[in-house]
Amino acid sequence: MARQRRNWKKITLIGDTALGQFELIEKPSEYIPFIEGYALTGHWSRAESLTYKALDMDESITPLLCSTWNYIINSPQNLVIKDSEKHKIYNNLGGCK
């Protein structure tokens, strides 16, 4: 519900609790709302770390991760990601388009 309402701050609070204590993520796609939430509240390193966790679980998620980062970078809520960070993430994902 918080993601549907684009309540990124609430998503990060849920993420801090759920990911910090339990790490119950079973599917890499379950990281997506947290990646968005952390990135769109300026917590780039946390979003990047979760991106790589998802990728480590299943490399076939790469297109979804690329789509997620495209959304983040083009989002009006984006707190300005540096080009160097964007290129680093895209390169580590195998070159998003």
User: What is the pTM (predicted TM-score) of this model?
Assistant: 0.79
Two tokens, residue 43: 């917590």
Q: What is the pLDDT of residues 27-55, one digit of tens each?
A: 899 899 989 988 888 888 889 999 999 99
Who's near 67: CB < 8 A, 6+ residues apart?
A: none
Residue 56 has pLDDT above 70, yes or no: yes
Q: In the predicted model, what is the mean pLDDT of the chain?
A: 81
Contact criterion met (CB below 8 Å) for 19 and 47? no
Q: What is the structure's pLDDT at 2?
A: 46
Two tokens, residue 82: 């540096």
Residue spans of the domains in the chain: they are 8-92
